[in-house]
Structure 1
Amino acid sequence: MQNMTPQNNYPAGNVPLFDLAHSAAFKADMVYQHLQRRFGSRVHRDEPLAPHSAFGVGGTADIWIALESRDELIGLVSLCAEEHWPLLLIGNGSNIIFTDTGVRGIVVRMTDHEYQINKEPDGKVILNVSAGSSWPRIANELAPLGWGGVEFGIGIPGTLGGGIVSNAGAHNHDLSEVLESIDVLDARGCNLEGDALSLPIKRHYTRDELDLSYRYSRFRAGHESVFDEQGNILPVPHRLIEPAEIVMALGIRLHHEEPQLLQEKIRQYQQERKEHEPPHNHTGSIFKDPLGQPASQLIEQVGMKGLRMGPVQVSDRNANYIVNNGGATTSDVLNIIKEMHRRVQEKFNVNLELNVELHGQ
């Protein structure tokens, strides 16, 4: 994809919030019928969101669609912008918690899994891969071919596109170490109102333009769930198109390595993950690690490791995970997260930052 000259420049997180009065005019039945003619059985009405979240909680989405290509994504985003239909794009839901009231509008998940391995003129070998690709799947497919570079993420349940947003990592590695570039669908202009509205634009960014650091990229600015002054968790701000910049493809640097060595690394990483993560239904880590000490240790030191509050429980393996023992609601999950945050702040004066996102309205 060619690098395109920006038509508008929007500071990250500085696009006006979409006026929710527009979504009141969202006629779900009419929209469903329109989209069903276009996408067939992949469109669902009143879709339960719990199966699409790693934690297994949440209400319903007015409309759910599984998209299979970038062209479908570009067409749908353009249509939603023109018609003022709210749209939320998600990955595998490994770090998402949906509210009990669910999500109004359209929720989309990318299911494409396409990749090519190309040798560049400078000798680099680049994996060009769709953002919707599962990290474990791509790692398992590349290892027998002798291509290393992404095997450290074998236990990360999310997509590679989602991994960019949080600069996901494991085993003392993260995505920024191997990332070369990304292709993005910039829909920030779609979130403007009136005559200022513009259609989405394809853009190409190099790694150095993404402000990658520990569990952070510039795509996270203004798109994070935070605690208010009363300790309540606020959902990610709602815009017409969320996220406003949609990662469509990644360029990842690969290297040659013996297939047997790569597969042994994968087995080792999987075993380490198995030993430290709860075996039951759970999200990714709840909090980012603050400087100096893992969040799991702080939570354990305030007496919450293994603690149950109704149907949810702080994991007895790693206190930065929460387990749904069955029948939990989003409210149950949020209550225990709030208690973890409150106790750590009171005892250590550490304001733990969320590593999970709350979505819905």
Structure 2
Amino acid sequence: MQHMTPPNNDPNNIIPPFDLENTTGFNTELAHYQLQRRFDTRVRKNEPLAHHSAFGVGGPADIWITVETRDELIGLVSLCAEEHWPLLLIGNGSNIIFTDAGVRGIVARVIGHEYQITEEANGSAILSAGSGSSWPRIAHELAPLGWGGVEFGIGIPGTLGGGLVSNAGAHDHDLSEVLEWIEVLDARGCNLEGDALSLPITRRYSKDELDLNYRYSRFRSGHESAFDQQGNILAVPRGLIEPAEIVMTLGIRLHPEAPQKLEENLKLYQRERKEYEPINRHTGSIFKDPEGQKASSLIEQAGLKGFTQGKVQVSDRNANYIVNNGGATTSDILNLIKEMRQRVQDKFNVKLELNVELRGA
């Protein structure tokens, strides 16, 4: 195998996607056997992705793995690159909708809750946390230690790594305000065809290199679901390794704060979120807010708040959420999203953009 340096971050230097249809050699039984030797019972065949979706929908993954450590992650990505096994890496899946057909190849959930706090001379500190760390859990554990900075994300049901990709936020704050740096596993060279394929390497980026904006980082460029001309949602394009740059560690700036004050803030944020977040199964908000407007308000004014279509419903608490009332399919959810977007476009001439991702096949 020829090794080459992956391309730089020049937006004009685009790697063509790996052609999954021409990926040969992926044999579920063989891959399962090899992976089971490394991951034991954490490897499962034909795993229903509905079990790992916030919506509770989605077809099977050929192989499902839970990855717990940094070394396991690097080893899995390297193995999949060498064997040409398609790999999709996810966090909590709180903003992902899996197709009814499921996902071909391997789906790996990255978990792990290791972190360390390094105090600095100015009184602040740096939290170094793995991308699979639960944001709510981190916030709860830092509060009694007197470290503030991440408490606004107490109600975000995802991981810190997933939060970085979409620059997640709540209560008028987002991750970009406290982020200092990240470390990624750069697997872009793994998505090259033929002899040019290279193994992943570790890279470190400062916040200023990430193009962090409202619900956006450069890691979302080319990795977002879009609509076709008929208003149907298109799944995120896949390479052999998706995403091709995998967030492994985040460096977050913390500040000292009275533990009692932090605990009060956590309770306040949780109380506020409960007032508008649905009770039944749901992902995060479906659409991004258009500039100067609220997607929830536009959908409500279009007459869709509480609207029910089959087994799915536009939330009667916040119209930018959809809930699964039990037994829904991905197709049911996608049809309702299409209806919501079309009604808003017809009434206000505003084309809403997705905040969730469709993944599959």
- TM-score (ref. length: structure 1): 0.97
- Which residue of the partner structure matches residue 83 of structure 1? 83
Q: Counterparts of 1:108 and 1:14 in 2: how far apart (Å)?
A: 25
Q: Where does the alignment leave 5 or more consecutive residues of structure 1 unmatched?
A: 1-5
> Which residue in the other structure is 2:296 paired with?
296
Deviation for aligned residue 1:241: 0.3
How far off its partner does 1:143 sit? 0.4
Instruction: Give 2:65's aligned residue.
Output: 65
Separation in 2, partners of 1:8, 1:288: 30
The answer to whether the 8 A contact 1:14-1:222 is kept is: no
Task: Confirm or deny: 8 A CA contact 1:65 1:109 kept in the other structure.
Answer: yes
Aligned pairs for 1:25-36 within 5 A: 25-36=25-36
- Greater mean deviation of Cα atoms: 115-124 or 128-137: 115-124
Conserved in 2, the CA contact under 8 Å of 1:22 and 1:84?
Answer: no
Question: What CA distance in whole angstroms lies between the structure 2 residues aligned with 1:88 and 1:79?
Answer: 13
1:240 counterpart = 2:248: no
Q: Hey, what does 1:194 align to over in structure 2?
A: 194
Shift of the alpha carbon at 1:293?
1.1
Partner Cα separation in structure 1 for residue 170 and residue 21 of structure 2: 42
**Any gaps of 5 or more consecutive residues in structure 2?**
none
TM-score by length of 2: 0.97
Distance 1:172 1:10, change over 3 A: closer
Shift of 1:38: 1.1
Q: Check conservation: 2:180, 2:252, Cα contact below 8 A.
A: yes
Q: Distance in 2 between matches of 1:244 and 1:97?
A: 19
Larger CA deviation: 61-70 vs 11-20: 11-20
**Which residue of the partner structure matches residue 308 of structure 2?**
308
Counterpart secondary structure, 1:74: helix
Aligned partner of 1:277: which letter? E
Q: 1:94, 1:284 within 8 Å by CA — same for their partners in 2?
A: yes
The Cα RMSD (Å) is 1.4
1:81–1:241 CA contact under 8 A, matched in 2: yes
Question: Could you tell me how far apart the structure 1 residues matched to 2:121 and 2:195 are?
Answer: 44
Calculate percent identity across the aligned residue pairs. 73
- Once residues 126 and 133 of structure 2 are traced to their aligned partners in structure 1, the CA distance between those partners, rounded to angstroms, is 16
Deviations 1:230-264 (A, max 9, x none): 10100000110000100000000001111111001
2:177 is matched with: 177
Match of 1:9 in 2: 8
- Equivalent in the alignment of 1:136: 136
The separation in 1 between residues aligned to 2:336 and 2:185, in whole angstroms, is 36
Q: Distance between the aligned counterparts of 1:46 and 1:79, measured in 2?
A: 20
- The CA deviation at 1:24 is 5.4
Q: Give the secondary structure class of the aligned counterpart of 1:341.
A: helix
What SS does structure 1 have at the residue aligned with 2:133? coil
* Matched residue, 1:219: 219
Question: What's the offset of the Cα at 1:21?
Answer: 2.5
Aligned to 1:261: 261
Letter in 1 for 2:14: N
Superposed CA offset, 1:180-229 (max 9, x none): 00000000000001111111010000000000010000000000000011
Distance in 1, Cα, partners of 2:199 & 2:123:
37
Residue 51 of structure 2 is matched in structure 1 by: 51
Q: Equivalent residue for 1:277? A: 277
**Counterpart for residue 3 of structure 1:** none
